[in-house]
Amino acid sequence: MTKRYYIIIALMIISGFSLTVSIAQQSWKENEQLILNLETAPLKVKLSYNQEYIRVENHSDKSVRGYKLGCVIRNDEKVIVKSAFDVRNVELKPVDEQTNSMYSHSFGIEQSGLMQCNQTKTKLAAIEVIFSDDTIWKIDESLGK
């Protein structure tokens, strides 16, 4: 491999590291603004206060068996999906009405796509939810609501 190849790899690693550091140095409130939660979305995406984890909460009355996050922009009452991540298979029970408990799935911020969305000046959002009864909610169904 050539010296140029190693230089390119080193620059890619450094730029990724600097992005991680810049997100970590931002305040929690600034990073919360990198997330878009639509009122009609059955899942809500939350950033942990220590900024190390993303938590996806089920706010619906149905069990969730999978979901997809993506990078979106909001334009004149429309939400446009700029990129989508792979489906995450999970088992999230519906909200427990007796205790008002909700179920969530957590994972490290580096796995969330938040940094990718930040790079493209978009926001992280739940863009698709697959329920256990095989019905699907998609972000485009919530436009204008």
Give the residue among 69, 70, 40, 59 at the shortest CA–CA distance from 142.
Answer: 40
Look at domain 27-142 and name its CATH class. mainly beta
46-64 pLDDT, tens digit each: 988 777 888 899 999 999 9
Q: Which residues pair with 78 in a beta bridge?
A: 75
In 59-103, beta strands by DSSP E: 64-75, 78-84, 88-92
Going from N- to C-terminal start, the domains of the chain cover 27-142
pLDDT in the model for residue 104: 81
Considering Cα of 88, then 141, then 145, then 92, what sign does the dihedral take? negative
94-139 pLDDT, tens digit each: 887 776 677 787 877 667 788 888 899 999 999 999 999 999 999 8
CA distances (Å), origin 56, targets 4, 22, 23, 47: 41, 23, 19, 9
